[in-house]
Amino acid sequence: MLKSFLLFAAVVLLVLASASAPARSPQDTATAPSAKNGAKLSPEAHAKAKKLYEQDCALCHNSSGDGKTDLAKDMQLNLLDWTDPKSLSTMSDQALFDAIRKGKGKMPPEDEGRASNENVHNLVAYIRKMAKDQSTTTAAPATTVAPVAPAATEPAPATAPATPPPATAPSR
C-alpha cells in the first residue's frame, strides 16, 4: 500500500512539474541560431548582440569576455574566461541561454522586456564567437620551412696533409 501511494505521489508531482514548466514556442526553437552548429550571425544580429553584451554583461564579464573586472573581483565572482575555447566546450547553447535568461548565482536574469529570446540566442552565439576569435588570433602561426638550397659545386679548398704519406716499397 505504501509503495502504491509513493508511486502515485511521484506521478502527480511529475505531472504538476511538467504542466507548470513554460512551453517553448516553435518560433523560439526555429529562430534560435546554434553557434555550435556553425550558424553565423548576420551583421545586424551581431551588432545587436554586441550592444546587448556591452550594456548588460561587460560590467562583470569584461568587454573582451575574460571575466576579469574589478566588479567581479570585488563580488568574489569566479567567472569563466569566454576567450578560452575550453571554457565553454562543455556547455550547450541551451545551458548558456538558460543561465542568461534565468540568471545564475549572483548573476541577475535577462528580463524578456530587455531582450527577446532571439536576442538572447544571438548573445549566446556572440559569446561563443569570442573564443573562436581568440583561438584564431592566438594560434601559433603556421611555419613553413624554406627549402635549403643545394651547396654550390665549388671545389673544396686543398689542404696539405698533416703527415707525409707512408713510403711504399718498390715492387718487383
In a domain, 5, yes or no: no
- Residue 92's domain comprises 28-137
> What does the alpha-carbon distance between residue 70 and residue 48 come to, in Å, rounded to a whole number?
26
In a domain, 85, yes or no: yes
> What does the alpha-carbon distance between residue 96 and residue 127 come to, in Å, rounded to a whole number?
9
In a domain, 7, yes or no: no
In a domain, 21, yes or no: no
In a domain, 1, yes or no: no
Q: What is the pLDDT of residues 107-151, one digit of tens each?
A: 999 988 889 999 999 999 999 999 887 655 554 444 444 444 445
Entry pTM: 0.57
The structural domain count of the chain equals: 1
> What does the alpha-carbon distance between residue 122 and residue 162 come to, in Å, rounded to a whole number?
80
CATH code: domain of residue 97: 1.10.760.10
Q: What cell does 68 get? A: 576579469
In a domain, 152, yes or no: no
Residues of the chain with pLDDT under 50: 15, 21, 23-38, 139-150
Annotate 132-172 with DSSP letters as a single string.
Answer: HHHHHHHSPPP--PPPPPPPP-PPPPP---SSPPPPPPPP-
In a domain, 153, yes or no: no
Give the three-state DSSP class for 107: strand
